[in-house]
Amino acid sequence: MTADTARRGTARFAPSILPLVVAVSLAAALAATAQNSGSFVVDVAVEADGQFVTGLTREDFEMAVAGRPAAVDSVVAGKERPLSLVLLLDATASIDSDVGRDVIRKAIEKSFLPKLAPKDRVQAGSFAKQIKIGPAVVNDSRALQAAIGKALDVPKADTFGPSAIWDAVALAVETLKDAPGRPAIILITDGRATGNRLDVEEVAARAAAAGVLVNVVGEDSEIVLRQDANTGVRVRPGVALEYLAGTTGGLYLPDTASPAAPGPVLERVLADLHERYTLAFAAPDGRPQTVNVRVKRSGVKIRVSRPRPAPTS
All structural domains of the chain: 3-72+286-306 (no CATH), 80-274 (3.40.50.410)
Please tell me the distance from the alpha carbon of residue 148 to that of residue 119, in angstroms, as a whole number.
18
pLDDT of residue 73: 94
For residue 308, give the nearest of 65, 12, 16, 43 by alpha carbon. Answer: 43
Task: Spell out the residues 6+ positions from residue 99 whose beta carbon is closer than 8 angstroms to its own.
Answer: 190, 255, 259, 260, 262
- Provide the sign of the torsion angle of the four alpha carbons 215, 219, 222, 223, taken in this order: negative
pLDDT of residue 35: 38
The answer to whether residue 264 scores a pLDDT higher than 50 is yes
The residue with greater pLDDT, 232 or 5, is 232
The residue with greater pLDDT, 289 or 280, is 280
Please tell me the distance from the alpha carbon of residue 270 to that of residue 267, in angstroms, as a whole number.
5
pLDDT of residue 224: 54
CB 200 within 8 A of CB 233: no
pLDDT in tens, 211-247: 899 999 976 665 555 556 666 555 666 789 999 998 8
Phi, psi of 26, rounded to the nearest 5 degrees:
-70, -45
pLDDT of residue 209: 86
CB 309 within 8 A of CB 30: yes
Q: What is the dihedral of CA 278, 50, 248, 181, to 10 degrees?
A: -40
pLDDT of residue 29: 36
Q: How does 182-197 read in b/e, with b if 16+ C-beta sit within 10 Å?
A: bbbbbbbbbbbbeebe
pLDDT of residue 30: 36
The residue with greater pLDDT, 119 or 306, is 119
Please tell me the distance from the alpha carbon of residue 56 to that of residue 78, in angstroms, as a whole number.
10
The answer to pTM > 0.75 is: yes
Pairing label, strands 252-254, 232-235 = unpaired
Please tell me the distance from the alpha carbon of residue 72 to that of residue 18, in angstroms, as a whole number.
26
CB 249 within 8 A of CB 283: no
- Average pLDDT score, the chain: 82
Query: What pLDDT band is residue 59 in, cutting at 50, 70 and 90?
Result: very high
The answer to whether residue 79 scores a pLDDT higher than 70 is yes
